[in-house]
Every structure is written in C-alpha cells, then in structure tokens.
Amino acid sequence: MNLVLLGPPGAGKGTQANLICEKYNLSHLSTGDLLRAEITNKSEVGVKAKKIIDEGKLVSNDIIINVIKSYFNHNKNSNGYLLDGFPRNTEQAKLLDNLMLELEDKISCVIQLDVEEKYLKDRVLYRGKQEGRSDDNEETLLKRLDTYFNETMPLIKYYDEAKLIKKVSGVGEIMHINQSINSIIDQL
Ligand code: ATP
Ligand code: MG
C-alpha cells in the first residue's frame, strides 16, 4: 500500500503521517524532513535548499529527485510508503507515476487533509515557537500558501481524475482526524 498525504503548510501532515506509518507499518517519506536533515548536515544540497525554503518556494525538481532516489535506495523492500510533502507539483506527480511503474506498484490513495486558511497561521506560528523552523514565520507562510495554491492545488484535480482523492477534514482533535483517515485506509 502506498499513500500520498496532500495539504497546505500546517495541515498536520507530519503528525498524521507518523500515526499512519506506525499503524500500517509504512515507510514515512517526508521531503521536508529530508531537506531539513540536509540543512542540519550543511551539505551542498542543504545550503541550496535552505535559501529556497526560507523564501517559501519549492526546491528544484532536480534536488527533489536526488533526495527521493537516495531515500528509496536506503528503504528497499518496504511494506509500502507514505509520501508526505511529495509530490508538490505536476512534474513531481509524473515522476512519482514513473517511479511506481518502476517498482511495479501503484498509489493506493491520495488523502487530502483539508484545513481552512484561517487556522493555518496560528498553527504554523505556534510550531515556529516550539520547533524553531526558520520558515515558520508569518512572511514566509504567506509565500508558502501562495506556492501551495498555485503549484500544489492542481494535483487535487490530477488525482481526482485518477479517482484517487479522499478528502478528510484536518480540523479538530488529532486522534479524531486520525480515525477518519484510518477508516478510509481500512476500506482500500
Ligand atoms: P508542514 O510541515 O506543516 O506539512 P509544509 O508542507 O510547508 O508544512 P514541509 O513539507 O516540511 O512543510 O516543506 C518545507 C519546505 O521544504 C517547503 O516549503 C519547500 O520549500 C521544501 N519542500 C518540501 N518538499 C518539497 C518538494 N516535494 N518539492 C519542492 N520543495 C519541497
Ligand atoms: Mg511536514
């Protein structure tokens, strides 16, 4: 089983991804986390990525391809993958389609975590205080939201046409949202 989690910054993708991966024994692929690890290691990719992340833009597809390839090389023979933060634009979605062909596998479902914009600011600013992520500030958030609307939202249509989208409200208690997601997965 391979799942994609789609949603705006601060939707709770990472939180739900951890719960889903634990319950269904999936490998968590978070491109955001992988990029932040590169930044911490001060690698060449990390230095490039930090500048772009702090501008609220998408890191180039070339960088993402390398990050993803290296992840799959280190996580072979998995029971399945939970993709969190990837794909984020149409080109990446096509890349993923090809990757699935190579693995002789398919995307089981795309879970759209739906959160109205008015909740996102408080969540992201709160996380900024807790975790100190340099992109979790008001100015960068506005740019991240723009990027989400312009580049990532078209994927909802892309996957809807493939009959893969399941929409879940990401507002409310974490465990309640998680139950809604689990009941979708249990029907796959
Ligand atoms: P949240 O952490 O709340 O899910 P988010 O989706 O904005 O919010 P991450 O997924 O951690 O946060 O991504 C942080 C940043 O890393 C993005 O704003 C972007 O610059 C970069 N990034 C992450 N994934 C990708 C990707 N697939 N393609 C391009 N850039 C990416
Ligand atoms: Mg995240």
Listed by start position, the domains of the chain span 2-181
Binning pLDDT at 50, 70 and 90, where does residue 103 land?
very high
- Grouping H, G, I as helix, E, B as strand and the rest as coil, residue 150 is helix
What are the C-alpha distances in Å from 24 to residues 45, 65, 161, 184? 32, 26, 26, 13
User: What gap in Å lies between CA 183 and CA 176, rounded to an integer?
Assistant: 11
For atom 23 of ligand 1, the residue with the nearest CA is: 32
Q: Which ligand is nearest to the CA of 91?
A: 1
From the CA of 45, the nearest ligand is: 1
For ligand 1, pick from 4, 59, 133 the residue to mutate: most ligand atoms within 8 Å of CB: 59
- Peptide bond preceding 9 in cis form (omega within 30 of 0): no
Superfamily of segment(s) 2-181: P-loop containing nucleotide triphosphate hydrolases (3.40.50.300)
* Residues within a 6 A CB radius of ligand 1: 9-10, 13-14, 31-32, 35, 52-53, 57-59, 64, 85-86, 88, 92, 135, 144
User: Is the overall model pTM greater than 0.85, yes or no?
Assistant: yes
Compute the average pLDDT of residues 117-145: 97
How much is the average pLDDT of 150-171?
A: 98
